[in-house]
Amino acid sequence: MKLLVRYAAAAVLLVAVLSSCKNRAPQQAKLIPKTASVVLVLDAKAMQDKLQKGGLSVDSLFENFFRRDKDDSAHKAKINDLRNNAGINWNSQLYFFVSNKPGKSAQESINVFNVMGSLNDPSKFEAFLKRQDDLKNKEIKKENGYSYVLADDGVVLSWNDRYLMATIYNQNARPVYDSVSGSFKKPETGNIAENAKAEVNSYYTLKEEESLASVPLFTDLFKEKADGYAFTSSNSYLGMLSMMPFQLPKLEDFVKDNYSVSTLNFEDGKILAKTTSYPNELLTALCKQFPSPAVNLSLIDHFPSQHINGFLLFAFNPNIIGGLLKQMEVEGMANNLLQKSGITTEDFYKAMKGDVAIVLSDIGLKQPEPQNKTDELSMVRSKPTYKMIVNIPVGNQVNFFKLMDQAAQSGVVTKQGNVYKGGGLLSAFGLYIQGDAKNLILASDSLTYVQYMAGTSKAAIDPEVTSRFKDKTSCFYFDIARTIGDLSTNDSSSNYRQSMNTAKATFKDVVVTAGPFNGKSSNAVFEVRLQNEKQNSLVTLTSLLTDVAVDMRAQAKKERALEVFPGGVPAIIHTN
């Protein structure tokens, strides 16, 4: 009997564990097609809790939103009606997902954007729709298991007992030249409203195996607690391959089944996103065969500036390009196309060592010199200034000189011994280019090039930042605060001056790192660091977004006033 009880207890425990694992997958996933290219999930409840912990309620947030426009009571009332009387569960997760589809021709593309939330009371939501001036005369239609209203061409609001969805169906068609009429004509796209309704219907009639609920990489995301989640898939692009004017062998094999998953968290003093990418079998084999080395930090050590705005470093095995061409069975075709020039695809990738460094500094706005002011516009227009280096170290010198000699023959560069410099066309863009046996360098000017190559300067980069780049295959840094300060003006009439000032006081910088392929996946970390290291980043960010929203509303109000008074709003109205 005791043995039977133990077996029964074990069985109950097993069922409980399996049930909890199964329930971890969100039910909303059953309404999202597995072909969706991008899915973003935000946990509204977790984010509201962080705001409240930081002393900022949703009510105070909306009060701040209207603080410069207290007379707009009608707009404020509509938002409050949506928040409190629309039957929407604002504590549930919000889903944003995008699908990309081919059209009927190569000139047509379809992009579908969706937002999905949860309902507490569907009847209240219907009543809310009927109170809206632009929707009250629209017919609410019932389908099998859901209702919908066509808000506009390509815009559908739909809902069932638990969830609501807003769908924007965007159908684009590029004009094609009609040789008979001698003009460009836009292809027929069909009935957009009907296409949008069919798209929405497909969501509510999905079989589970056709939905994201059947994709473990997506459902397993929610095992980790986070403020937000993201999922990307390359499969939505497969249908577009057939529309390409030039079909490449095995291209579909490389495009399909590439996924990435990410978590997003608002922490004290920073916004942190962690991403894991999972390539398909063919790309996995290439990554294993041609592993990427670590970035070469010495390429940025001697950049001649104490005011670095940002830099990008990445490293790769150039032979992976040859492996990719072979796997796609296009290497022979590519070499045939290059045959007349006397170069091969191998010359291209073997000429590179596999390191790339891009550094940007001293960004600013400069007024033109008096002698260069040709008209009234040029008298007030500021010219951007900066220092830049793009360094691509040379791999095989024989392959490199072969490529550069070909470029010299075509006039793209000029050759002086074993040194190559930019030709007239490149110089016309104000860029300085020089290549030799060690490096191919693109610089903002010749002085920056000379100072960089001298190697006597020491770039002012935070050691704590560079310490994160050890053993990474790519890294990115951007100083947000410095750049905003460099580009800000003292124009008090600027429509977004308050937003810019708040942004400068909010953001510090961005640090991104990506690690090597581990045989199955590769990991990346994206971190936005804020000035206030003690306050939760969501609270800090909300203050900025509120200022942006207020500035946008003020600008929109100004534009509406100019429509009524094209010559300017009378002073008496301003004073009143």
For the stretch 254-278, pLDDT in tens is 899 999 999 999 999 999 999 999 9
- pLDDT of 90: 93
Spatial neighbors of 79 by CB under 8 A, at least 6 apart, are 62
Considering its fold, how many domains does the chain have in total? 2
Clarify whether residues 401 and 282 are in a common domain: yes
Pick the closest to residue 323 from 351, 355, 293, 285 (CA basis): 285
Mean pLDDT of the chain: 85
Clarify whether residues 206 and 64 are in a common domain: yes
Instruction: Give 90-110 pLDDT, tens digit per residue.
Output: 999 999 999 988 777 666 788
Clarify whether residues 226 and 337 are in a common domain: no
* Inside any domain, residue 246: no
State which of 202, 233, 264 marks the end of a domain.
Answer: 233
State which of 233, 261, 292 marks the end of a domain.
Answer: 233
Clarify whether residues 304 and 210 are in a common domain: no
DSSP, collapsed to helix, strand or coil, labels residue 230 as strand
* Inside any domain, residue 263: no
- pLDDT of 67: 62
Residue 59, token pair as written in the block: 């009510």
For residue 185, pLDDT over 80 is answered with no
* Inside any domain, residue 243: no
State which of 233, 251, 281 marks the end of a domain.
Answer: 233
Q: What is the mean pLDDT of residues 445-470?
A: 94
For residue 453, pLDDT over 80 is answered with yes
Clarify whether residues 206 and 310 are in a common domain: no
Clarify whether residues 278 and 223 are in a common domain: no
Q: Are 142 and 149 in contact (CB under 8 A)?
A: no
Clarify whether residues 304 and 391 are in a common domain: yes
* Inside any domain, residue 180: yes
- The residue with tokens 């300085």 is 432
Pick the closest to residue 361 from 466, 486, 476, 455 (CA basis): 486
Spatial neighbors of 341 by CB under 8 A, at least 6 apart, are 406
State which of 188-192, 210-214, 540-544 shows the largest mean pLDDT.
Answer: 210-214
Pick the closest to residue 448 from 356, 361, 355 (CA basis): 361
Beta strand segments in 155-238, E: 155-159, 163-173, 176-178, 183-185, 228-233
* Inside any domain, residue 128: yes
Clarify whether residues 407 and 540 are in a common domain: yes
Q: What angle do CA 450, 455, 458 make, to 5 degrees?
A: 110
- pLDDT of 487: 85
Clarify whether residues 350 and 453 are in a common domain: yes
Instruction: Give 6-58 pLDDT, tens digit per residue.
Output: 433 333 333 333 333 444 568 999 999 999 999 999 999 999 999 999 888 87
- pLDDT of 75: 77
488 band by pLDDT with thresholds 50, 70 and 90: confident
Clarify whether residues 223 and 283 are in a common domain: no
* Inside any domain, residue 573: no
Instruction: Give 410-420 pLDDT, tens digit per residue.
Output: 888 999 998 99
Instruction: Give 197-248 pLDDT, tens digit per residue.
Output: 999 999 999 999 999 999 999 999 999 999 999 999 998 887 767 666 667 7
* Inside any domain, residue 52: yes
* Inside any domain, residue 118: yes
d(CA 391, CA 218): 39
Q: What is the mean pLDDT of residues 330-340?
A: 90
Instruction: Give 147-179 pLDDT, tens digit per residue.
Output: 999 998 899 999 999 999 999 999 887 776 666
- Cβ burial of 554 (10 Å; 0-12, 13-18, 19+) is middle
Task: Show the domain range for 187.
Answer: 28-233
- pLDDT of 398: 96
Clarify whether residues 283 and 360 are in a common domain: yes
Instruction: Give 356-406 pLDDT, tens digit per residue.
Output: 999 999 998 877 666 555 555 555 567 788 999 999 999 999 999 999 999
d(CA 475, CA 277): 16
- pLDDT of 12: 33
Clarify whether residues 171 and 286 are in a common domain: no
Q: What is the pTM of this model?
A: 0.84
- pLDDT of 249: 77
- pLDDT of 575: 45
